[in-house]
A and B are shown apart, each in its own frame.
Chain A
């Protein structure tokens, strides 16, 4: 029971075990559905149909997935550095300020394709700035980044309400949001692109920022596994003492990692603010920052895992919204439970099935390879 866990081949470690954990998480979620008196199978069928059954639903699924790619990458980058960034929600929220600054000031002047890089830069900068203080305090004062980032979520919510109610709201308007952006502040939707292939996206808000998200995923891969900084980040995450011994500046790596993480979370605002709502409104991230934690854990911190995990959660968001029409007992909050269960089983309880699977694998392997050595597995 208390022995260290044995090493298993990659396809079990990165394929089978996460899959089993995910299945268990969904089984438990199914129990909750049973508890409120609905059929889990029917709920799953409705959800799948809502998310993939028709082009518009699929467009919504990919739109939500875009949000989660950004926030999932944000959490993953911090994870590689051994830092747990729970502040994605606040960083995304503040990132909206950067997007709004570009869209409000230059929206009438420049076309969208010139405004997009500016908005990327500013949303990244705002998110990074919001992550800077917790990062600095962790590096210099040792205050735990988990708690400070949680606090910064609350502070961000208060700050944004203050700005939207008091400063950014147009004169004479009652709603706490900015004015609608001019044409240059609106990212084009992908409706036309999909029509070429005969799909009608309808009102789905899928827009060009999905390509920005995919590009970000590639860049995060390059950063973490192909650059010197990425090497430093992974070293810090693996062993802070080794990083220190190797002469890496702990402070610099912590601050830079957290700022990249915060910046990626901030870029989520591109999709929601500039790509869909065309205005900065109260609570636009809608929990996407927190979903990022589940997405990063499910994708095991690798962009190649994060993108499918984001699509899965996009499916849950879109399918869940459709589901709420047919089963009023199952609202959006069901997603929060599933999110929690995925974090629990794919993250905290990831070792639960490992000894059993490991033992089964050893038995199968020894039976096929060397039938005489049945006890070798015990001796390891």
Chain B
């Protein structure tokens, strides 16, 4: 494998792990506060649809992003209402949101655009365009560093940089601010936080809203950054894979990034491996390759690589008085 194809592989790894990273960090805030969230998938989907629709109608990708975030936060608040205020089953609520998002995107898309659930193709200002970092052209001819800088680091869409900037930011918020300390505490022992006079409900709602904002970014990236428009079920299980990355990374921000890069890498490899003759195995079937991320997720979750310790109060509604 030469340098050019290696860089190409790294480049597509970064692109493919960006939505996973947004979604996994979104899940991180929610689950660290004690609210399990398997509705990352549905929120990404509705955000992808909302941002592609808004971008198609007004031709502005930023407006698209805003609508994507609003849609995802709206769904987050439903999840919060069910799991915080009404103390319902958080998994059931998540499943419900995933179904509603899957159906709603198609029905509304068909009613508004009449293209079988797709949104019109985006072009020009309706899409995020590549950002050229300074001196990218100038250093292109420098050996090794040049291609890496100008080919991989430069020329990504702005949301890619935002996603990777969110990793240190999340770390800082979680481990260096008062809000972060309380957020982690409410996921481990809400009664202690309550005793200290801090509202468990308000804290958890804030976590859930942050989760919505980040899944909004994830969805907007899918439909207006990576692709040029919304297509039916375009998340294709990415929300679940992000969740797996979160579990695999033990609910810690920096490991989350590496887990997402790993899953993104597998995705990038699987596109390239199709139809290639491998030693010992022979030609790899397309179906096996497409199932590979899910199979690996199961293997990773089975804990053959380390033990997952979820936030202790995760999934348990908080009852103030007994």
A interface vs B, CB < 8 Å?
A: 2-4, 32, 35-37, 84, 86, 133-134, 137, 141-144, 146-148, 150-152, 154-155, 157-159, 161-162, 165-166, 290, 293, 297, 329-331, 333-341, 343-344, 347-352
Contacts and interface: CB of A to CB of B under 8 A. Distances in A.
A352 B89 CA distance: 12
Contacts of B298: 133-134, 137, 143, 148, 151-152, 155
A2 B301 CA distance: 35
A35 B108 contact: yes
B82 A137 contact: no
Contacts of B287: 158-159, 161-162, 165
A341 B93 CA distance: 10
Nearest to B92: A347
A141 B290 contact: no
A147 B247 contact: yes
Given A86-B95, A147-B247, A336 B103 contact: yes
Contacts of B98: 340
B100 A341 contact: yes
B112 to A, nearest CB: 8
Contact of B320 (A2, A134, A166, A343): A2
Given A336-B99, A349-B82, A147 B88 contact: no
A1 B89 CA distance: 17
Given A142-B308, A290-B99, A331-B110, 20 more contacts: A2-B320, A4-B321, A134-B298, A137-B298, A137-B301, A143-B302, A147-B38, A147-B240, A147-B243, A147-B244, A333-B110, A334-B103, A340-B96, A343-B95, A344-B93, A347-B88, A348-B86, A348-B90, A351-B86, A352-B86
Interface of B: 38, 78, 81-83, 86-93, 95-104, 106-108, 110-111, 117, 237, 240, 243-244, 247, 285, 287-288, 290-291, 294-295, 297-298, 301-304, 307-308, 318-322
B32 to A, nearest CB: 17
Nearest to A334: B107
A344 B100 CA distance: 9
Tell me the dominant secondary structure on chain B's binding face. Answer: helix
Given A151-B298, A297-B92, A347-B88, A340 B100 contact: yes
Nearest to B41: A150
Contact of B107 (A3, A36, A154): A36
| Top 5 A-B pairs, shortest CB-CB distance | A340-B99, A336-B103, A348-B93, A2-B320, A337-B103
Nearest to A354: B86
Contacts of B240: 147, 150-151
Contacts of A159: 287, 291
A150 B236 CA distance: 12
A144 B244 CA distance: 10
Name the residue among A4, A37, A141, A158 with the largest chain B CB count within 10 angstroms. A158
B282 to A, nearest CB: 13
B301 A32 contact: no
Contacts of A293: 95
A343 B321 contact: no
Contacts of A148: 298, 301
